[in-house]
A = this chain, B = another copy of it.
């Protein structure tokens, strides 16, 4: 395949460096499928927002012939757990020492603040150094407001984040951490 040189960087897929056959998104989708199956939570990945530019009609129905990816203003996953609204973003970084903040759009940062304000549960799931951490919206915003940096140091993620261990079913039982963080008084 030939691409113009100047956009080469948009083609690189950070996940291609990994040896694992499954990426974080697949792992979380399977985890959410499992939660759905055992009727524990209703959490879905939102479809990627696109702008449809051209459609046509085939025997199979309506077909999109041209469309563009749009920048999301909310987070990737949202849903309902134990009567509460839950929303999170999942990101992988190949950087070993920090999580680059360019991974989270300014609109999304503002949205995280608003979800907190409206009493929703909001967090990031960050995969760094092959480990998966849950970082609460509060700790994320606190970092941003007190550090003038372009990334979150790995040391901060290790200190403030909660490690999500890999398991069989579910693969990434992040609701176990959510239970401890947000429903402790009810357990």
Residues of A within 8 A of B (CB): 3-4, 6-7, 10-11, 39, 41-42, 44, 46-50, 57-69, 73-74, 78-85, 87, 111, 114-115, 117-120
The 3 tightest CB contacts between A and B, nearest first, are A83-B119, A64-B67, A47-B49
Copy number in the complex reads: 2
**A interface majority secondary structure:** mixed
**A/B interface sample: 15 pairs, CB < 8 A:** A6-B59, A41-B118, A42-B120, A44-B73, A47-B49, A63-B66, A63-B68, A64-B66, A64-B68, A80-B119, A82-B118, A83-B84, A83-B85, A83-B119, A83-B120
**With A60-B68, A64-B67 already in contact, 15 other A-B pairs whose C-beta atoms are closer than 8 Å:** A3-B57, A4-B57, A42-B114, A42-B115, A44-B74, A46-B46, A47-B49, A63-B68, A64-B66, A65-B65, A79-B85, A81-B118, A82-B118, A82-B119, A83-B85
User: Which has the most chain B C-beta neighbours within 10 Å: A6, A67, A85?
Assistant: A85
Tell me which residues across on chain B come within 8 A of A58, comparing CB atoms.
Answer: 7
CB distance from A48 to the nearest CB of B (A): 7
Tell me, rounded to whole Å, the shortest Cβ–Cβ distance linking A123 to chain B: 14
- CB of B66 within 8 A of CB of A61, answer no
Partner of A80, one of B6, B10, B69, B115: B115
Out of B44, B61, B119, which one reaches A7, CB within 8 Å?
Answer: B61
**Complex alpha-carbon distance, A47 and B67, angstroms:** 13
